[in-house]
Amino acid sequence: MLLNTGCITQDRIGRALWNTAQYGSSKSVEFLIRNSSISAGAIKRAFEDASKSTISKFLYKKLVAPAESVASAFRNAAGCGRYTFMSDGERVTILTFLRSTGLVPDNLVRDTFVAVVGESTSYADVFVLALSNDACISPEITLEAFQKAVREGRPENVKLLLSKYCFALHIKEEAMVSAARDGRCEVLKEICASKDRSLGALNKAIAATSDTAWLRHSAARLDLRPFDWWRKVCCEKWNVVQLSPRVLLPRFKSTPEKYIVPQFTARLRNMR
């Protein structure tokens, strides 16, 4: 057998193991391990980049010092380390297995959760599926991830977090205003899709944004006539009880352009 002739270097055998761990089958990995002398370093690298749970579990038993390797494999599977191609199902299984070894520190899980769910869109749903019930994912951590997803403009992740976790009403309302102020309207739509929000908070978001498409979207969701809607916003903005069309129009003329929606201004002129 060529593997035992000495004609194939350790480096080549190590690379063959790594390629097989990423793209091959568990049987092929087992064959290489049984029939050749492979260094601890080559086994470590193959384990960290394994793309199937069966391969990961097999190589785990061959590790000399597993703690560091398990942490690296966890980062890779979460999408925070070296890129490793694997199916979503295998990614969930590998993340769950690695966590079950007891060698993935809680602080690494927390930091990775915030990084993946707050920033990345590639594996956020997979990571949440694998570790949403982990004891170390506290309400404070999910809140940090939610606020980061809002700041970074990640509507898919905002939607995911809102569907999996409960956030206090004032947290969601603060996020609405923040997203409106920063022009993150796709994020704003996901937060506004939540049922438990107040009209007052929505009005604050409306006053903070200049995106006319989102303004039309919000008006349709609230089933408010444009004039009534803008009157509500302006009453709050200028701290008055009631405004008539005759009072509103001059105020619009002296308001910065970003608060004026042309079709609503035209509606006010027609109502004079």
Query: Tell me: the pLDDT tens digits for 256-268?
Result: 444 444 444 454 4
- Look at 126-135, 193-202, 227-236, 259-268 and tell me which has the smallest mean pLDDT: 259-268
Percent of the chain surpassing pLDDT 90: 43
Distance between CA 5 and CA 188 in Å, rounded? 65
Query: Tell me: the pLDDT tens digits for 93-138?
Result: 999 999 999 999 999 999 999 989 887 667 888 888 888 888 899 9
At residue 93, the pLDDT reads 95
Distance between CA 116 and CA 131 in Å, rounded? 12
Q: Take residue 149 and report the two structure tokens written for it.
A: 């997803």
Other Cβ atoms closer than 10 A to 252:
16
Query: Tell me: the pLDDT tens digits for 28-78?
Result: 999 999 988 899 999 999 999 999 999 999 999 999 999 999 999 999 999
Picking from 34, 38, 42, the residue whose alpha carbon sits closest to that of residue 18 is 42
Whether the predicted pLDDT of 92 surpasses 50: yes
Enumerate the domain spans of the chain.
Answer: 195-272
Burial (CB count within 10 angstroms: exposed 0-12, middle 13-18, buried 19+), residue 257:
exposed
Query: Residue 148: which pLDDT band, with cuts at 50, 70 and 90?
Result: very high
Residues composing the chain: 272
At residue 144, the pLDDT reads 93
Question: Euclidean distance between the first and final Cα of the chain, in Å?
Answer: 95
Rounded to whole angstroms, what are the CA distances from 66 to 22, 51, 217, 234?
19, 18, 53, 62
Candidate ranges 20-29, 111-120, 169-178, 182-191; pick with highest mean pLDDT? 20-29
At residue 37, the pLDDT reads 84
At residue 225, the pLDDT reads 46
Return the residue matching tokens 């949403």. 132
Q: What is the mean pLDDT of residues 245-256?
A: 50
Region for 255 from its dihedrals, namely left if φ exceeds 0, alpha if ψ lies in -120 to 50, beta otherwise:
beta
Other Cβ atoms closer than 10 A to 42:
20
CB-facing half-sphere around the CA of 251: CA atoms within 13 A: 17
Query: Residue 181: which pLDDT band, with cuts at 50, 70 and 90?
Result: confident
